[in-house]
Amino acid sequence: MQIQDEVGQCEGMATNRLEILKQMVKDDPNNTFARYGLAMEYAKSGEYGEAIKEFRILLQSDENYAAAYFHGGQAYEKLGQVEEARALYEKGIEITTRKGDAHTRSEIEAALSLLPV
């Protein structure tokens, strides 16, 4: 019984976190940190289409948000949309190269190299 209660609490926390992030984005649509958090929360819950939507909106307002290219590409991969993932990864490599963000660029390059040809 205790394990079921703990699972229920964890599920409630995840739902609560999702609702909080949705409200934060509603209150301030330009809050890139909240939008990124919302996209990540959708991805964690398997709602990859919603995650991609949020990553795309985020990148429209801040094309330099490097992590969104990696995680957005991952979401596309989960949906089997390999070419969309490839395009996002390639754009992410371009952005991170321009910014001098070698760490994120290497992560995106690694993800890109694992895509089927």
pLDDT in tens, the chain (117 residues): 445 444 444 455 567 999 999 999 999 999 999 999 999 999 999 999 999 999 999 999 999 999 999 999 999 999 999 999 999 999 999 999 999 999 999 999 999 999 998
Q: Is 59 within 8 Å of 69 (Cβ atoms)?
A: yes
pLDDT at 115: 97
pLDDT at 5: 47
pLDDT at 8: 44
Kindly write down the DSSP assignment for every residue of the chain, as one continuous string.
-HHHHHHHHHHHHHHHHHHHHHHHHHH-TT-HHHHHHHHHHHHHTT-HHHHHHHHHHHHHH-TT-HHHHHHHHHHHHHTT-HHHHHHHHHHHHHHHHHHT-HHHHHHHHHHHHTS--
Domains of the chain: 2-113 (1.25.40.10)
Tokens representing residue 36 in the block: 């990124």
